[in-house]
Amino acid sequence: MTKSSSQPYRIKGAGTLSRARTVQFTFDGKSYEGLEGDTLASALLANGVHLMGRSFKYHRPRGVMSAGVEEPSALMNITRDNARTNPNVRASVQELYDGMKAESQNRFPSLSFDVGAVNSLLSPAFVAGFYYKTFKWPAKAWDKLYEPFIRRAAGLGESPTEEDPDRYSNRFAHCDVLIIGGGAAGLMAAKTAAAKKQSVIICDENPKMGGWLLADSDVRIDGKSGAQWAADTVAELQAMDNVRVLTRTTGFGYFQQNMVALNERVTDHLSRPDPDLPRERMWQVRAKKVVIAQGSIERHMVFSGNDRPGVVLAGAAQMWLNQHGVAVGHTVGVYAACDTGYAAAFDLYEAGVNVAAIIDHRAEVSEDLLDQAKTHGIEVHTNANITSTSGRLRINGMTVETSNGETKEFEVDALLMAGGWTPSLHLSSQSRAKPAWDEATQRFLPGVSPQDCVNIGGCNGLDDLDAVFAEAIKAVGGKKTKIEITDDVSTAGGAIGIVGPEEHKGKAFVDFQNDVTAKDIKLAVREGMHSIEHVKRYTTNGMATDQGKLSNMHGLAIAAKLLGKSIPEVGLTTFRAPYTPTTFGSFVGHDRGSLFDPNRKTPIHDWAVEQGATFEPVSLWQRAWYFPKGDEDMHSAVDRECQTVRKAAGVFDASTLGKIEVVGPDAAAFMDKMYTNGWSKLKAGRAKYGIMCREDGFIYDDGVVGKLSDTRFHVTTTTGGAPRVLNHMEDYLQTEFPDMQVWLTSTTEQWATIAVQGPKAREIIEPLVSGANISDEKFPHMSVIECKVCGVPARLFRISFTGELGFEINVPAGYGRAVWEAVWDRAEPMGACAYGTEAMHVLRAEKGYIIVGQDTDGTVTPHDADLSWAVAKSKPDYVGKRGLQRPDLVADGRRQLVGLKTKDPNKVLEEGAQIVRDPEQAIPMKMIGFVTSSYWSGTLGQSIAMAVVEDGFNMMGKSLYVPMPDETIEVEVTGTVFYDPKGEKLNG
């Protein structure tokens, strides 16, 4: 195969690509050759391939229509490997690389023969609102028939089956001027701002900057072609320190205070990407001024048969010719309502393509254009319309109704549509500017933005290059300079809505990606959809991945006409970020896997790892869950740990407990405000259990607080609660009690906390302690003292979360492991064990000690939790005092915390299980509470649970029921203290 025959539509001498740099790729398994610099679409077109996909609903054959991001039809699956397979890639913008594997979508078994095309025959059934009308009854059909059908039919393409192996990075940037769009306007603005020494970022979604300068063969700027001027300007900008030029970078979201999000695609165009490069990079740019130079998008024409492969936008045909050197066909027709159709036709004519005829919808066309057509010998019909097209997998003919009503047939293998240009208002609207309707030119233009941004060039409705440059220079405060410009292209004219006959025999598509026709829009209006937002949702017009870049204006015009309203009265639907589809990967960035959240470890963590502990995550902490010995399972390990603590002793890493140092002359008074019980009268050297409420009276946190002196408290909080407790305290200290002399410091990570619990606890630690007498007499339960342990400054608590004699040794974190090992060296020979969080939970539950957040849920008061003893009655004020007196909180029948014993002692309840009074009642049963904590207690030889139950305190001894899917479990209501109710063990 010779090169020329492999790319039969590549035109010699046209375009800017080098013929020598060929690239091999496959499409649907077949090998093709393209050129470096091609898009996938231009390479396929060079090979004469127009059929690139099947439409979503009717499975109609579709080709590529545009040369940009607005492409609705040519969506491909691009595969590198199983994990790197990207659906819905627009062939019009995907750069070709060597070895690319592209597959068409939405067809079976093949693109040219697709079984789903039968939908097209059934199309009368698939009208607007099809889903709402069809999937209504019978109700049973939902599960088995309708939902599976909709799920299979919904969405295009297939997701990769493996986790994304690529990296995505994230950068913040600041600049004086951010310019979005590197066409003529954007480049001139960048050049001007850069010359003024401003810091500039300019981005463009394409690999090459220049915008439509790359498609326009006639323009000359200072004697250079448009493409050359763009390339030279980019080189100039890249050489400057104050400018950052970002290609393949889409400004996709405009947020508050001139913060714009950019998505840079780093490797998607490379054959063999460097593994050190991220696939994409998200830029969050904060700019003093934003210059939007998004350009405009050409509209298609709405007429019957406007979707056949080979029917393309005129500007796209021009881009493929003048940038890629590719002709869209041998014999083309042109259907125009805008002057740009002529420019495209003339360019193709000059490249040797036969132009069958220009069909102009308008009656009045400039003499100059008609003269040029005449010179080229091109037939022009004004005030004429295309009424239908023919061809199955590619257009082969068009039928025209001329101004005098005659019908003419033309053979064509491609058809160019020039429906006029829609200024891109996406980012302007996202900046909260309201689009402003311009009656003279029948289009929306950017309105005034509340932010410091300005629209220039095509997106502001300009086409004349002189005016565009002047506007760009002015936008960044530059001085007008003399630039030699030759530019005779006019974008005058345009049409929105249906052109030609109102009623069509065939389908006149408005939205190609969602297969919405002009008839669908009309039907929606007739069926009562009078708001454009309703029309959009009922017909799905503009709701596909292209977000209606081609279709929205047409849909709006058709609906407005039928409603008898003007276009601005009906109004546009809202533009939202992202401008084009953006990968989740780029939003996630590095925040995944082990980098998703910090992983907090205690100073004793590595010791537990060495001992073979199993870990569980508790908030961000990794905590030792249990320490299995030999081939013990969790159940037997926990049983052993619990019973060892009760019989001998256990050592437990409690370092994750939240710790806050409350210091200052008013520390006690502040504690009186923050906790429900009193702290002023507590003696230094004593500790107390405290409950913290919110103002509404519900439990917020709890913990033991040691009073080290009259001005210093060592506060402990729940493991996950430390940050919010500190925030809560700071809030009151700073804003309600700002006159109090108190300082709060988080000390969670400064102290390692080693709990030694069990009858032998004192014997274990006593020889290690110096500077304190820890006898029962001198150091009773709930005491605290500053002393030394292993020679290290320590805060020693006599405290118990197990019901046994217990101590908690706090030492500076850096000594944590050394002190732990010293304790362990004494503990192990005495028959003690190390225990984990699961045993800790069982031991505390056997004693009825609650865990805030597990046994309480933000609707439980201290009284509900049977903790009235910890609520001061005489204190004049504390946070939550008034809330606790609210009528609902003092009413009878509140859910109260009780214990549950299962009738079958071996049956362990499920936490969260619901509780009912009468298991025989009809479903839905009245649920009167639920299980909050439930464990197997090896010590007691039975299952134990805690639960909140309506009026629970009055139900002691009564039977209740826990219905489960396979059985109903009978339980007896008890107190919450299952073990050593008199508390004698606390003293060893």
Partner 1 sequence: MLLIHCPYCEDDRPELEFSHAGQAHIVRPTDMDGLSDEEFEAMFFIRDNPKGIILERWRHSMGCGRFLNAVRHTVTDKFLKTYKAGQPRPTDKDIEDLLK
Question: Which residues bind to partner 1, rule: CB under 8 A?
Answer: 255-257, 259, 284, 286, 432, 450, 695-696, 727, 730-731, 734-736, 738, 876-877, 881-883, 886-887
Q: Provide the residue count of the chain.
A: 988
**Minimum distance from residue 772 beta carbon to partner 1 (Å):** 35
Q: Which is nearer to partner 1, 127 or 259 (CB)?
A: 259
Q: Which is nearer to partner 1, 484 or 739 (CB)?
A: 739
Residue 756's identity, in one-letter code, is V
CB 922 within 8 A of CB 840: no
Neighbours of 585 (CB within 10 A): 16
**What sign does the CA torsion over 695, 698, 700, 702 have?**
positive
Q: Which is nearer to partner 1, 300 or 728 (CB)?
A: 728
CB 715 within 8 A of CB 707: no
**Minimum distance from residue 672 beta carbon to partner 1 (Å):** 14
Q: Which is nearer to partner 1, 135 or 255 (CB)?
A: 255
Burial of 191 (0-12, 13-18, 19+ CB in 10 A): buried
Contacts of 825 (CB under 8 A, 6+ apart): none
Q: Which is nearer to partner 1, 222 or 730 (CB)?
A: 730
CA distances from 810 to 709, 755, 814 (A): 17, 9, 11
CB 585 within 8 A of CB 164: yes
Please report, to the nearest 10 degrees, the dihedral formed by the alpha carbons of residues 36, 41, 44, 48 taken in order: -130
SS3 content of the chain, % helix, strand, coil (to 5): 25, 30, 45
- State both tokens at 178: 């951010």
Q: Which is nearer to partner 1, 11 or 660 (CB)?
A: 660
Neighbours of 782 (CB within 10 A): 17
**Minimum distance from residue 446 beta carbon to partner 1 (Å):** 17
The DSSP secondary-structure symbol of 11 reads P
**Minimum distance from residue 877 beta carbon to partner 1 (Å):** 6
**Minimum distance from residue 430 beta carbon to partner 1 (Å):** 13
Collapsing DSSP to helix, strand or coil, 437 comes out as: strand
Q: Which is nearer to partner 1, 318 or 451 (CB)?
A: 451
**Minimum distance from residue 957 beta carbon to partner 1 (Å):** 36
Q: Which is nearer to partner 1, 405 or 450 (CB)?
A: 450
Q: Which is nearer to partner 1, 409 or 730 (CB)?
A: 730
**Minimum distance from residue 861 beta carbon to partner 1 (Å):** 15
**Minimum distance from residue 730 beta carbon to partner 1 (Å):** 7
Closest to 23 (Cα-Cα) out of 267, 258, 195, 272: 272
Closest to 381 (Cα-Cα) out of 359, 411, 400, 356: 359
**Minimum distance from residue 256 beta carbon to partner 1 (Å):** 5
Phi, psi torsion values for 510, nearest 5 degrees: -100, -50
**Minimum distance from residue 931 beta carbon to partner 1 (Å):** 30
Contacts of 592 (CB under 8 A, 6+ apart): none
**Minimum distance from residue 890 beta carbon to partner 1 (Å):** 11
**Minimum distance from residue 863 beta carbon to partner 1 (Å):** 17
**Minimum distance from residue 894 beta carbon to partner 1 (Å):** 17
Burial of 31 (0-12, 13-18, 19+ CB in 10 A): exposed
CB 483 within 8 A of CB 221: yes
How many helical (H) and strand (E) elements, i.e. helices and strands, does the chain have?
27, 51
CA atoms of 403 and 821, how far apart (whole Å): 99
DSSP one-letter string for 671-722: HHHHBSS--SSSPTTBEEEEEEE-TTS-EEEEEEEEEEETTEEEEEE-TTTH
**Minimum distance from residue 173 beta carbon to partner 1 (Å):** 13
CB 682 within 8 A of CB 669: no
Q: Which is nearer to partner 1, 257 or 906 (CB)?
A: 257
**Minimum distance from residue 594 beta carbon to partner 1 (Å):** 21
CA atoms of 247 and 229, how far apart (whole Å): 17
CA atoms of 336 and 358, how far apart (whole Å): 7
Strands 168-180 and 280-292: parallel
Q: Which is nearer to partner 1, 829 or 887 (CB)?
A: 887
Measured CA angle at 347 (ends 343, 351), to 5 deg: 170
Residue 333's identity, in one-letter code, is G
Give a three-class secondary structure readout of 439-471: CCCCEEECCCCCCCEEECHHHHCCCCHHHHHHH
Name the H helices within 578-651.
Answer: 584-588, 605-610, 634-647
Q: Residue 173 forms beta bridges with which residues?
A: 285
- State both tokens at 619: 């908030």
Q: Which is nearer to partner 1, 488 or 695 (CB)?
A: 695
CB 776 within 8 A of CB 985: no
Q: Which is nearer to partner 1, 486 or 734 (CB)?
A: 734
**Minimum distance from residue 701 beta carbon to partner 1 (Å):** 18
Q: Which is nearer to partner 1, 425 or 744 (CB)?
A: 744
Q: Which is nearer to partner 1, 72 or 697 (CB)?
A: 697
- State both tokens at 640: 């052993």
Phi, psi torsion values for 635, nearest 5 degrees: -60, -50
Measured CA angle at 115 (ends 113, 117), to 5 deg: 90
Q: Which is nearer to partner 1, 400 or 733 (CB)?
A: 733
Q: Which is nearer to partner 1, 548 or 578 (CB)?
A: 578
Q: Which is nearer to partner 1, 501 or 723 (CB)?
A: 723
Closest to 759 (Cα-Cα) out of 649, 846, 641: 649
**Minimum distance from residue 732 beta carbon to partner 1 (Å):** 8
**Minimum distance from residue 878 beta carbon to partner 1 (Å):** 9
